[in-house]
């Protein structure tokens, strides 16, 4: 599939999105769930676990990625890392003051 170019009037930003035809399936024989990249030239999907061709396509959520969502994710990750480091520092201090390894 071709790239799609979209614009946002409010932020006047442009983004290029590569569409990936990735679909989720469930095998009706063994109940395994899996994802497949389906192209126009792809054969009918089969279950990678048992090889059965009796699979049903599931309703999938779509993913959105932009500079704003990437920045928001990085901020959340940084805050989580700082909180974890602070907790580890408190734990080390607690151990240092409350444990006497004499």
**pLDDT, average across residues 59-72:** 76
Q: What is the pLDDT of residue 95?
A: 87
pLDDT reading at 68 higher than 60: yes
Q: What is the pLDDT of residue 9?
A: 45
The angle subtended at Cα 18 by Cα 43 and Cα 7, nearest 5°, is 140
pTM for the model stands at 0.43
Where along the chain do its domains lie? 21-63, 64-102
Residue 4 pLDDT level (bands cut at 50, 70, 90):
very low
Residue 18 pLDDT level (bands cut at 50, 70, 90):
low
**pLDDT, average across residues 80-92:** 90
pLDDT reading at 49 higher than 80: yes
What Å distances lie between residue 17 and 1, 7, 10, 36, CA to CA?
11, 11, 19, 19
- Name the CATH topology of 21-63: Rubrerythrin, domain 2 (2.20.28)
């Amino acid at each position: 599939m071709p790239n799609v170019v979209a614009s946002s009037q409010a932020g006047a930003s442009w983004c290029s999105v590569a569409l990936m035809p990735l679909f989720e399936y469930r095998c009706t024989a063994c109940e395994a769930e899996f994802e497949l990249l389906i192209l126009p030239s792809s054969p009918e999907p089969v279950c990678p676990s048992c090889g059965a061709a009796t699979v049903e396509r599931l309703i999938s959520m779509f993913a959105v990625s932009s500079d704003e969502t990437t920045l928001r994710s990085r901020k959340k990750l940084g805050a989580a890392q700082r909180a974890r480091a602070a907790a580890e520092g408190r734990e080390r201090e607690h151990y240092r003051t409350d444990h006497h390894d004499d």
